[in-house]
């Protein structure tokens, strides 16, 4: 019987059901009981941090534009939800949806939503690299965390990246912010385990843990907290439970919560 009940973190919101990184997806995740929210951030041409995964907008907003070359005002004119359900306009019985739930989501708006929520919700923020703005992304991110008073130990936020250099920047700017080193290739782990900070979390992908179970066991034995992405199936959750992971990042937070309730009973 597993002994550690992991935190359930909604990957880009409840993104299995609703368009990723939209406010609608995050509100759905909160309503479902998710313990945390995960987002990717990129910097616009006029210096705003927005929650967008891809560098270009072809997949999520049907345009060839790049996030880094567009102003926030330009991004605000785009629909970031239509791609998820392209036939929605043909449904005469569908309720009218607030356009504010479909557009580009700024990190500030997401953090304000979390800060105002009626229970503690944690936010895992991934900075995307490479990017034309390099370290400016982390600088702007830390400035925003300071605005919320979330650059201190115990704050409901952590910063993640595949870039070791990016996490070092955050550590210099805000030494108390929790950091997560993401890992997607097994041959990276022997090197990373020697250089990442003593208190850093390790964030392996579930695909790597499936294909290279010994690497997963090595990570678990390292004594570090482990947060795994993207966990959407029962057997993958059980693999994580066997390794004692502290957080599972999922497109399907409600499913993960239901499965954990079966194993641990109702959350306190």
Cβ atoms of 44 and 52 within 8 Å: the answer is no
CA 85 to chain centre: 22
Concerning whether 212 is annotated as a catalytic residue, the answer is no
Rounded CA-CA distance 7/175 in Å is 23
Q: Is 11 one of the catalytic residues?
A: yes
Is the Cβ–Cβ distance between 122 and 46 less than 8 Å? no
The token duo for 38 is 């995960």
Catalytic residue among 11, 21, 48, 227: 11
Question: Angle CA(88)–CA(90)–CA(94) in degrees, nearest 5?
Answer: 60
Q: How do 49-51 and 122-127 pair as beta strands? A: unpaired
Distance, in Å, from the CA atom of 251 to the CA atom of 25, rounded to the nearest integer, reads 10
- Active-site option among 21, 48, 53, 212: 53
Strand partners, 51: 41
> Of 59, 260, 23, 41, which is closest to residue 137 (Cα–Cα)?
41
Cis preceding linkage at 116, omega within 30: no
State the catalytic residues: 11, 53
């Amino acid at each position: 019987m597993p002994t550690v009940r992991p935190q359930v973190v909604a990957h880009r919101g409840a993104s299995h059901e609703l368009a990723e990184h939209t406010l609608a997806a995050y509100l759905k995740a909160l309503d479902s009981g998710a313990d945390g929210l995960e987002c990717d951030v990129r910097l616009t041409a006029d210096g705003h941090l927005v929650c967008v995964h891809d560098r270009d907008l072809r997949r999520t907003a049907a345009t060839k534009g790049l996030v880094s070359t567009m102003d926030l005002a330009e991004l605000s004119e785009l629909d970031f939800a239509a791609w998820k359900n392209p036939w929605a306009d043909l449904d005469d019985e569908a309720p009218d949806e607030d356009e504010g739930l479909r557009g580009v989501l700024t990190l500030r708006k997401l953090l304000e939503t979390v800060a105002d929520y009626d229970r503690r919700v944690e936010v895992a923020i991934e900075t995307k690299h490479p990017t034309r703005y390099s370290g400016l992304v982390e600088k702007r991110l830390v400035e925003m965390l300071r605005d919320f008073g979330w650059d201190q130990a115990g704050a409901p936020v952590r910063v993640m990246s595949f870039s070791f250099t990016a996490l070092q920047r955050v550590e210099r700017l805000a030494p108390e912010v929790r950091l997560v080193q993401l890992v997607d290739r097994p041959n990276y782990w022997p090197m990373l385990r020697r250089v990442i900070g003593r208190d850093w979390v390790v964030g392996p992908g579930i695909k790597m843990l499936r294909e290279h179970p010994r690497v997963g066991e090595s990570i678990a034995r390292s004594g570090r907290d482990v947060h795994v992405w993207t966990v959407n199936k029962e057997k993958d959750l059980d693999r994580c439970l066997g390794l004692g992971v502290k957080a599972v990042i999922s497109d399907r937070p409600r499913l993960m919560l239901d499965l954990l309730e079966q194993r641990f009973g109702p959350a306190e």
